[in-house]
Amino acid sequence: AGIGLASKKGIVIKGANYLDSLCKIGTVFLDKTGTLTYGNFDVGKVVPIGMSEDQFMKYLLAAESRSDHPIAKAICLHKNISSIALAQKHYEEIPGQGVKTEYMSHIILAGNALLLQSNKVKFDEINAAGTPIYLAVDGRYAGYVLLKDVVRDKAKLLIKKLDELGIKTVLLSGDKIETVSEVANEVGIKEFYAKLLPQDKTKFVEEAIAKRNDKNLIAFAGDGINDTPSIIRADVGFAMGGIGSDMAVENADVVIMQDHPLKIYDSIQIARKTRAVAIFNIVFSLFVKLTVITLILLGVLGQAGMLVAVLADTGLTVLLTLHSLSLIYRKIK
Ligand code: ADP
Ligand code: MG
């Protein structure tokens, strides 16, 4: 019934054991792009260096045309990319960094500062608000585009509500520190880490798991392919069902449909309600049975003993089953 209630609210919980774990979450690690933000980037400024804007966009589209990353989707939105996508060789996506590809005999890099640094391309880092995507062609810096993302509706409320439950929240992101701290401030997360590679995110989760106890489990909420290792490692892995990559959704324990961040809180509340009903049912049935046994042994019930015993057994089973089923009609606040 608890899982049924969750599905009605657009939350897919992949097993009753996760209902148990959900009740015991002590820390939630959250990804930024796509999880706390919409991941629908607006392409703002385009700054080509040493080439025309047309040329710049052609190279950038070539690199991004085959990627599923929200950034790539935003850059390619409404553009005709099918022929460009087909013309590529040695396409490679570097998680948490960007894309490397060969297009019309040019080696193209598109991604964050780390990508260019690790390929030894000289460039000037941009400190403006937003997420810059740098482009390099044949090892030479070719400019950048500045993308802007928006924090999801109710993301702030999620952090506040988790706070009220005594659950710690930590923001983990592959983005640059300025953007991450801006989002963290906006939603009210005190602890945040930037410029993380997928394996760094997993390390945070693993270190937390090594230190946690049974009553303070570790959860991770993410959306991208790059979040999948952390989603798998966490005690409870949440994935955004809408924007999330297939890998993330497939490996998550709890999938949030429509990507509403507040549903992370709802799923915890549903799990807690389900456990409360289960505990009530067990305590109540034991109490009634022990009372009836005592009354019968004392001879208080006399002739009615048999009737009361049947009611206390079968009657109670029906009643408590109905009580469990009533969970499906509960409201979540
Ligand atoms: P987050 O942890 O915030 O969800 P990701 O780990 O998905 O972010 O990506 C981290 C950074 O890597 C992005 O901010 C972006 O700069 C860069 N990046 C990743 N994939 C791509 C891509 N396909 N094209 C361009 N840049 C990318
Ligand atoms: Mg993400």
Mean pLDDT of 202-214: 95
Cα 97 to Cα 175: distance, rounded to the nearest angstrom: 9
pLDDT band at 81 (very low <50, low <70, confident <90, very high): confident
pLDDT band at 330 (very low <50, low <70, confident <90, very high): confident
User: Does position 95 have pLDDT exceeding 90, yes or no?
Assistant: no
C-alpha 270 chain-centroid distance: 18
For ligand 1, is residue 97 a contact (CB within 6 Å)?
Answer: yes
The pLDDT value recorded for residue 302 is 85
For ligand 1, is residue 72 a contact (CB within 6 Å)?
Answer: yes
The pLDDT value recorded for residue 161 is 96
The pLDDT value recorded for residue 9 is 94
Residue with tokens 């991604």: 111
**Inter-CA distances, 102 with 13, 88, 229, Å:** 42, 6, 28
For ligand 1, is residue 96 a contact (CB within 6 Å)?
Answer: yes
Q: Which residues contact 170 (CB under 8 A, 6 or more apart)?
A: 27, 28, 29, 30, 189, 191, 192, 193, 204
Per-residue pLDDT tens over the stretch 5-14: 999 999 999 9
For a ligand 1 pocket test, name from 77, 92, 112, 259 the mutation site with the most ligand atoms within 8 angstroms of its C-beta. Answer: 112
Higher pLDDT, 129 or 163: 163
Q: Indicate which residue's Cα is closest to atom 14 of ligand 1.
A: 175
For ligand 1, is residue 175 a contact (CB within 6 Å)?
Answer: yes
Mean pLDDT of 53-79: 90
The pLDDT value recorded for residue 116 is 95
The pLDDT value recorded for residue 305 is 87
Mean pLDDT of 48-56: 93
Mean pLDDT of 59-79: 89
Å from CA of 116 to ligand 1 middle: 13
Ligand nearest to the CA of 226: 1
Mean pLDDT of 168-181: 93
Closest CA to 51 of 91, 97, 89, 108: 108
Å from CA of 34 to ligand 2 middle: 5
The pLDDT value recorded for residue 277 is 96
- Helices 262-298 and 16-23: crossing angle, nearest 10°? 100
Per-residue pLDDT tens over the stretch 110-158: 999 999 999 999 999 988 878 899 999 999 999 999 998 889 989 999 9
Sign of CA dihedral 181, 184, 185, 186: positive
User: Does position 333 have pLDDT exceeding 80, yes or no?
Assistant: no
The pLDDT value recorded for residue 250 is 95
Per-residue pLDDT tens over the stretch 313-328: 999 999 999 999 999 9
For a ligand 1 pocket test, name from 175, 187, 197 the mutation site with the most ligand atoms within 8 angstroms of its C-beta. Answer: 175
3-state SS, one letter per residue, for the chain:
CHHHHHHHCCEEECCHHHHHHHHCEEEEEEEHHHHHECCCCEEEEEEECCCCHHHHHHHHHHHHCCCCCHHHHHHHCCCCCHHHHHCEEEEEEECCCEEEEEECCEEEEEECHHHHHHCCCCCCCCCCCCEEEEEEECCEEEEEEEEECCECCCHHHHHHHHHHCCCEEEEECCCCHHHHHHHHHHHCCCEEECCCCHHHHHHHHHHHHHHCCCCCEEEEEECCHHHHHHHHHCCEEEEECCCCCHHHHHHCCEEEHHHCCHHHHHHHHHHHHHHHHHHHHHHHHHHHHHHHHHHHHHCCCHHHHHHHHHHHHHHHHHHHHHHHHHHHHCCCC
Lowest mean pLDDT among 74-78, 184-188, 213-217, 274-278: 74-78
Catalytic residues: 31
Residue with tokens 């087909």: 86
User: Does position 66 have pLDDT exceeding 80, yes or no?
Assistant: yes
The pLDDT value recorded for residue 57 is 93
Higher pLDDT, 51 or 81: 51
Å from CA of 125 to ligand 1 middle: 16
